[in-house]
Structure 1
Amino acid sequence: MMPQLVTVRVKRPDRHAVRIWVPVLPVVLVLSPVVALALLGGAVACHIYRIDVVRALGTGWRIVCALPGSRFDVEFDRTAVLVAIR
C-alpha cells in the first residue's frame, strides 16, 4: 500500500515542538507533472545503462510500498527532526 501520511516533528530545546502532517496523495497530484518528467528521465537513464525499464519501475514501486511504518530521526546540535511515514 502506498504511504498515506507523513508526519514531521521538529524539536528544539528553547521552543515548543512543531508538528506538521503532510497527506501524500494531494502532494503527488499537485506534483504529478514533475513526477511524469522524473519517470521519463528514469526511463531514458535505464535505456542508456541497459536496465529493463519495467523491472526498474516495479522495484521503485516496491520501495515506495515498503515505506509505511518507517521512521527517520536526525539530530544536529540541539535540534531534532523526526519523520514518520504511515
Structure 2
Amino acid sequence: MKLGEEILKVLNKIYEPDTMVEKRFKRYDIAFKTDGYGRPILLFFGEKDERGHIKGERFARRLITAPDGTVIKDHWENKGRST
C-alpha cells in the first residue's frame, strides 16, 4: 500500500512537537507521532479497535535535512501490519 496525495497533504503539515496526534481521514482512523519540529514521522493507518489501537498499516518517514534545514530526502516507507 502506498500513501496517496490527499493523506500526504495532511502529513506535510506541522503539528505540535513530540506528540501523538489522532485524526479521522475519510473512513479510516489515523494516528501519527511527530518529531521535535512537529513533522509527522510515524503513521498508523486503519481502524480503531475497542481498546483504541489502530489495526491496519504502519508507515515510517525517512526525512533527511541539510544543516541549513533544507529537506534532502522525504520518503514514507510501509513497515507492514500494525496490531
Same fold, TM exceeding 0.5?
no
The structure with more radius of gyration: 1
* Structure with the bigger percentage of helix: 1
Structure showing greater relative contact order (alpha-carbon pairs closer than 8 Å, 6 or more residues apart): 1
- Identify the structure with the greater strand proportion: 2
Q: TM-score, normalised by structure 1?
A: 0.25
TM-score by length of 2: 0.25
